[in-house]
């Protein structure tokens, strides 16, 4: 039995219907009131409030492995090449997204995870980048996603973790690259090189093709 011939223009009509449906969906999403679960500003303020309660560094030794996640950073400790530093990441269970801001240190020889909690930690993020130099790990950028993936916040902050004390410090320097996630960052001699990434608000997506370097607290273009 032969195949039925397609009517002329039917594919075009189907495409137009799909386009119209997508535009309608976007309009509904843009016009609807932001739910409490997707209010990123409120979520981050709540996290910041809880963070302010921390007064000292706390280390939990030999804890279970971190929960499943993607887009975290995993860095070799320059002071101890048998130890890995894991920070952040995200997990999507098919319905909701959870973004992490936890810090783990993994001893490869002992096969043990230690969970670090310290005051003044960076807010939760994923798709950031991290590099290690001397006795510090440096983190730049990344994104925070609301549970329903309706809202995004992209970071342009620059953090330093002291591997001797487990304390975080946000570095205040001039000329930061723009907010982004999904970029690449490498260490070259005494410089940290940042390249690429993107910025997404659901209404606008921007790709970055610039290359910047951090050099002793100075950003050089």
CATH number at residue 88: 2.120.10.80
Q: Bigger pLDDT: 181 or 209? A: 181
Give 148's contacts (C-beta < 8 A, 6+ positions apart): 35, 37, 38, 96, 97
pTM assigned to the model: 0.77
Structural domains counted in the chain: 1
Counting residues of the chain whose pLDDT is more than 90, the rounded percentage is 62
pLDDT tens across 146-181, in order? 999 989 999 999 999 999 999 999 998 887 789 999
Asked, for residue 158, whether it belongs to a domain, the answer is yes
Residue 116 has pLDDT above 80, yes or no: yes
**Distance between CA 166 and CA 162 in Å, rounded?**
5
Mean pLDDT of 120-130: 97
pLDDT the model gives residue 215: 57
Asked, for residue 58, whether it belongs to a domain, the answer is yes
pLDDT the model gives residue 4: 54
**Distance between CA 210 and CA 26 in Å, rounded?**
30
The DSSP 8-state label assigned to residue 37 in this structure reads G
Strands 112-117 and 58-63: antiparallel
pLDDT the model gives residue 23: 62
Asked, for residue 190, whether it belongs to a domain, the answer is no
Asked, for residue 128, whether it belongs to a domain, the answer is yes
Asked, for residue 60, whether it belongs to a domain, the answer is yes
pLDDT the model gives residue 204: 58
Count H helices, E strands: the chain? 2, 17
pLDDT the model gives residue 198: 86
pLDDT the model gives residue 189: 86
Q: How many CB atoms lie within 10 A of CB 178?
A: 13
**Distance between CA 140 and CA 173 in Å, rounded?**
12
Give me 19's structure tokens.
């386009």
pLDDT bracket for residue 220 (50, 70, 90):
very low
Range of the domain at 139: 36-173
Give 11's contacts (C-beta < 8 A, 6+ positions apart): none
Asked, for residue 61, whether it belongs to a domain, the answer is yes
Mean pLDDT of the chain: 85
**Distance between CA 188 and CA 153 in Å, rounded?**
29
Main-chain dihedrals φ then ψ at residue 126, nearest 5 degrees: -140, 170
pLDDT the model gives residue 219: 41
Asked, for residue 87, whether it belongs to a domain, the answer is yes
Asked, for residue 187, whether it belongs to a domain, the answer is no
pLDDT the model gives residue 14: 60
pLDDT tens across 8-42, in order? 566 667 666 656 665 655 555 554 555 677 899 99
Positive/negative CA dihedral, 198, 204, 210, 212: negative
Look at phi and psi of residue 158 and say left if phi exceeds 0, alpha if psi is from -120 to 50, else beta. Answer: beta
């Amino acid at each position: 039995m032969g195949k039925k011939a397609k009517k002329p223009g039917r594919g075009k009509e189907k495409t137009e219907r799909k386009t119209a449906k997508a535009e309608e969906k976007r309009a509904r999403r843009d016009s609807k009131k932001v739910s409490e679960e997707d209010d990123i500003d409120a979520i981050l303020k709540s996290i910041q409030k809880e963070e302010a309660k921390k007064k000292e560094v706390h280390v939990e030794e030999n804890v279970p492995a971190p929960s499943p996640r993607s887009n975290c950073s995993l860095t070799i400790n320059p002071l101890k090449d048998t130890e890995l530093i894991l920070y952040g990441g995200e997990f999507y269970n098919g319905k909701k997204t959870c973004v992490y801001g936890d810090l783990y240190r993994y001893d490869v020889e002992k096969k043990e995870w230690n969970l670090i909690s310290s005051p003044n930690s960076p807010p939760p993020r994923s798709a950031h980048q991290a590099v290690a130099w001397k006795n510090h790990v440096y983190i730049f950028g990344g994104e925070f996603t609301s549970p329903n993936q309706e809202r995004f916040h992209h970071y342009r902050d620059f953090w330093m973790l002291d591997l001797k004390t487990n304390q975080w410090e946000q570095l205040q320097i001039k000329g930061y690259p723009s907010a982004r996630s999904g970029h690449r960052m490498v260490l070259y001699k005494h410089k940290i090189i940042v390249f690429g990434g993107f910025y997404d608000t659901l209404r606008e997506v921007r790709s970055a093709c610039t290359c910047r370097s951090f050099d002793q607290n100075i950003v050089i273009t």
